[in-house]
Amino acid sequence: MFKPKNDAIQIGQQTIKIPCRNGLTFTESQEVVFDIPRTVGFADLSNAYVEVDVDIGVPNADAANATMPILQPDKVTGCQSMINTMRVVSESGRKIEELYPYNVNAQLHYNATGDEGMKNKRSRTEGCANSYQILDNPFCVPNRPVLGANDPQGAAAPGNPEDPLSVLALANDCAKQVTRK
């Protein structure tokens, strides 16, 4: 019957993607730079996120990666464990804010404030896991089945991917990485 009067002013918002200034592919110890243009106005960076595809392994060495087990980021901080320093700098180069070491601060924060709901959400968005076991990693799936046999070395060659009865020859036969968005 009575409708309360709402004096709140509606403020519009928009979501934008800002590409990285210095490339798209990075390796260890490289710096990633984002330039936020003046036209953005007020940017709510507390609700911002960085969208990346992370491949953990030896760069340009498929033979070496084939023999290694699946690697994963830290189980508590996920891919945030790969960020050492986060810095906000003005156009003139003046430092406005710096978080160093960011990965340690993130670890302390998530250890103090973690609950099951956040762990579930972060397992999909940040690469976190309940443990370091391969079954708890949301970005890995079993690679292929291995069936029991009386003579696994008999007719089949070890490590033959076409033969489900063969034994596992390499570490990456156990599980493989999957891409999830």
Place of tokens 């392994």: 57
Q: pLDDT tens digit string along 100-131?
A: 999 999 999 999 988 888 888 888 888 888 88
CB 168 within 8 A of CB 130: no
Q: At what angle do helices 116-125 and 102-113 cross, to 10 degrees?
A: 140
Instruction: Pick the range with the lowest mean pLDDT from 21-30, 36-45, 72-81, 157-166.
Output: 157-166
Q: What is the pLDDT of residue 150?
A: 53
Q: What is the pLDDT of residue 31?
A: 93
The mean of the pLDDT values for the chain is 79
Q: With 60 as the cut, is the pLDDT of residue 160 above it?
A: no
Instruction: Give the domain ranges of the chain.
Output: 45-146+160-177
